[in-house]
Amino acid sequence: MSLFVNVTLNGLANGMIFAALALALVLIFRATRIVNFAQGAMGMMTTFIASSLLGRGVGYWWAFLAVLVIGFVLGALVERVLIRPLQGKSELNPVIVTIGLLVVLEGLAGTIYGNSSRGFPAAYSQSGLTVGHTKIAFSHFDVFILVAVLVLMTGTLVLFRATSLGLRMRASAFAGEISRLLGVRVGVLLTLGWALAGVAGSLSGLLVAPTSSFGPYFMDLVLVYAFTAAVIGGLESPVGALIGGLITGLSISYVGGYLGSGLQPLGALVLLMVALMARPEGIFARPPARRV
Amino acid sequence: MTPPVPSGSWPRAPWVRRLRLPTQPLARHLVLALCGAAILYAVTSSLSPYNDFEVGEIALYVIALAGLSLLTGLNGQISLGHGAFMAVGAYSAALLMTHTHLNLLIELVAAIGAAGLLGLVIGIPATRLKGPYLAGMTLLLALALPPIADKWSTTFGGDQGLTTTVPSAPGSINPEEWLAWIQIVGALITLVLLANLLRSRYGRSFRAVRDDEIAASLAGIHVARTKVIAFVISAACAGLAGAFLGLSTGVVNTGEFPLTLSIQLLAAMVLGGTGTLMGMWWGAVLLVYLPQWSTSLSGDFNLGSGASAYLATIIFGVVLIVVMIAAPTGIQGGLRWAWRRVWSLRSGPGDGTPTVSRHPA
């Protein structure tokens, strides 16, 4: 019983992190119909920058803030330099380019920071909380993860549902040509979508790093789990990303707890295949309409 | 709708006519393969054993890349997990070698079959997926398979892996040359079979499905079946290449099939020329020699010993980005373009019928 409770709590915390990265994928997919496979590697890179800042004596929260800003800039830069030239070409080209960016970033991180995995500090204690007399596998840091991702999610929803900027972003994602006619600066807003995704990606890197072997490849698996989460949620909806993240986090946590951690990626693959076979458009998507 | 990556249609090149090669595809491909075999025989018998080993590796990568090129360039599906299919082929062959004493040919057929079977399992859900979904699923496949071998380490040999044995060479041929020859013959047979396939009804339906699925199904093509067939063929090629890789390295373990391998295959395919078969030789040369070049390069710049592997990774990534943005047809596309320019300058303006080029210059 206690194994089940702990595995569930662990899955909850992981699921929130996957939801943050899934949200980044969703933001980009909504804006530009591209899955950014380099999103995890971008988060890895910004986390390494945070690690260097901390090494130079910068305070944790200042480094945290700086890295979110760097993630914003990096996202915008990638869109302008690498993605914009591909506009109007086949959908395979951006996939290949983002994969290229993924390995370039991993190679750069390996060259600059070395191969050996180093530790990354957590914002709060990572030892489990005590409920009554038993210690559970849910720490202060896990509470922080929960709060940080919920803040991110709420912020995104408020942006899209309640502000005029969000309305313009939605308009330019769904009907670019018409929005352009109405005077919306579509190009800038697409870049903004990528930049916001960069913030979400950076946050996920900062949240994963303390609990994983922090090295150039530490975001690879997180990225594919987040992709699974985003696909379950339909790749279009922020709420879907959250639900998908929790489903993915819990599923692979149960696989890890009862069958062994080596089978977690396989569990995610099965989950993804089932999700795609049963409901390729995701749980939260509108009825599919494809333009011929 | 824009056609995916570069176009893969093959207009009859002027040189085919000039050289008076047979017009019947099978005969022409066989003649070309025999010429290639003659050149490679001359090359391997004059090289040192180590260079023979490298030629064999080039040949095995050509097999995997040709399958990937068929899948992406001619059928419009993408795979970021071809390393996983290579791993399945390598482990199947190595398991048979450890537990049985069968003919090498049977072991290779088993490797092809096992990888093809996994291709079927992955290919069926793939028929319902568009580009990025399939890319994500195959990426997950590349990360999911290797840990399985670690989990059941008694069967799959754990970190040590399984050892492979090359059948002893007849006569006085040295073993490296013999292995290279097995691999070269495998590569040439694969290329001839694929080249014929692409000239057949199947090849045409692959391209039709890539260009427009709705139009293809209106024309009577079974879209889902066509996509699954392309995926299975591509996976089977990777399986054969994996079995050959196991023979080259002598052991099969999970460290040989990281995610990086799958991405390097993609980069080599894109650089060689997506959708071409002959272009895959360029890609395979890159796969075999780039790690060596980057080692010497990082030595020149004093980057430290660990950096050379990362340098190779960076170069592969830059290749992917630059080729996709600047020259999506890759080396082979560029060569074809240059070749056509040369011929059109020679024959002068107004001579012959204008050819409609589907390759963006």
Residue B299, token pair as written in the block: 């030595």
The reply to whether B144 touches chain A by the CB within 8 Å rule is: yes
Q: Which of residues 175-234 of B touch A (CB under 8 A)?
A: 214
Rounded-to-integer distance, Cα A92 and Cα A83, Å: 12
Among the listed residues B57, B256, B60, B247, the one whose alpha carbon sits nearest the alpha carbon of residue B164:
B247
Residue B289, token pair as written in the block: 């020699």
Chain B residues with CB-CB distance to A231 below 8 A: 133, 136
Rounded-to-integer distance, Cα B217 and Cα B223, Å: 6
Rounded-to-integer distance, Cα B166 and Cα B162, Å: 13
Partners of A130 in the β-ladder: A135
Q: Map tokens 């040439």 to a residue.
A: B188
Chain A residues with CB-CB distance to B313 below 8 A: 103-104, 106-107, 110
Nearest CA in chain B to A271: B137
The reply to whether B320 touches chain A by the CB within 8 Å rule is: yes
Q: Which of residues 212-251 of A touch B (CB under 8 A)?
A: 216-217, 220-221, 224, 227-228, 231
Of A85, A92, A108, the CB nearest to B131: A92
Of B2, B125, B313, the CB nearest to A103: B313
Q: What is the pLDDT of residue B109?
A: 94
Among the listed residues A178, A158, A164, the one whose alpha carbon sits nearest the alpha carbon of residue A238:
A158
Of B2, B136, B214, the CB nearest to A88: B2
Chain A residues with CB-CB distance to B136 below 8 A: 35, 37, 224, 227-228, 231, 272
Domains of chain B: 24-163+173-277 (1.10.3470)
The reply to whether B328 touches chain A by the CB within 8 Å rule is: yes
Rounded-to-integer distance, Cα A205 and Cα A227, Å: 15
Q: Residue A262 carries which DSSP code?
A: G
Chain B residues with CB-CB distance to A234 below 8 A: none
What residues contact B149, with CB distance under 8 A and at least 6 apart?
B87, B91, B156, B157, B158, B253, B254
Helix residue ranges per DSSP H, A209-263? 220-233, 238-259
Lowest mean pLDDT segment, chosen from A22-26, A95-99, B239-243, B289-293: B289-293
Partners of B231 in the β-ladder: none
pLDDT tens profile B253-279:
888 898 889 999 999 999 998 888 888
More reliable by pLDDT, B243 or A185: B243
The reply to whether B143 touches chain A by the CB within 8 Å rule is: yes
Q: Map tokens 């003919």 to a residue.
A: B103
Taking CB atoms and an 8 Å limit, are B143 and A220 in contact across chains? yes
Chain A residues with CB-CB distance to B132 below 8 A: 29, 34-35, 91, 95
pLDDT tens profile B304-354:
666 777 888 898 899 899 988 888 888 888 888 888 888 777 765 544 444
* Section B90-94 average pLDDT: 93
What residue ranges of chain A have pLDDT lower than 50?
none
Shortest CA gap A102–chain B (Å): 7
Q: What is the pLDDT of residue A31?
A: 82
Partners of A135 in the β-ladder: A130
Chain A residues with CB-CB distance to B317 below 8 A: 99-105, 107
Q: Which of residues 92-111 of A touch B (CB under 8 A)?
A: 92-93, 95-97, 99-108, 110-111
Rounded-to-integer distance, Cα B124 and Cα B232, Å: 10
Rounded-to-integer distance, Cα B246 and Cα B162, Å: 9
Shortest CA gap A189–chain B (Å): 22
**Residue-averaged pLDDT of chain B:** 83
Q: Tell me, what amino acid is at B311?
A: L
Nearest CA in chain A to B142: A265
Q: How many Cα atoms within 13 Å fall on the side-chain side of residue A58?
A: 16
Chain B residues with CB-CB distance to A277 below 8 A: 125, 128
Cα angle B244-B246-B248, degrees, rounded to a multiple of 5: 70
Predicted model pTM: 0.87
Rounded-to-integer distance, Cα A286 and Cα A279, Å: 12
Q: How many CB pairs under 8 A join A and B?
A: 159
Q: Which of residues 223-282 of B touch A (CB under 8 A)?
A: 259-260, 263, 266-267, 270
Residue B14, token pair as written in the block: 């002027």
Exposure string (b/e) for B265-281, b if CB count within 10 Å is 16 or more?
Answer: bbbbbbbbbbbbbbbbb
Domains of chain A: 2-278 (1.10.3470)
pLDDT tens profile B8-38:
444 555 555 666 667 677 778 888 888 888 8
Q: Are B136 and A231 in contact (CB under 8 A)?
A: yes
What residues contact B101, with CB distance under 8 A and at least 6 apart?
none
Q: Which of B153, B159, B324, B358 to mutate to test the interface with A (most CBs of A within 10 A)?
A: B324
Among the listed residues A81, A23, A36, the one whose alpha carbon sits nearest the alpha carbon of residue A200:
A23
Residue B65 has pLDDT above 80, yes or no: yes
Q: Are A17 and A208 in contact (CB under 8 A)?
A: yes
The reply to whether B152 touches chain A by the CB within 8 Å rule is: no
Q: Are A49 and A70 in contact (CB under 8 A)?
A: yes
Taking CB atoms and an 8 Å limit, are A82 and B321 in contact across chains? yes
Of B135, B309, B319, the CB nearest to A37: B135
Helix residue ranges per DSSP H, chain A? 2-32, 39-55, 60-78, 92-113, 140-162, 164-174, 176-181, 186-208, 220-233, 238-259, 264-278
Chain B residues with CB-CB distance to A111 below 8 A: 303, 307, 310-311, 314
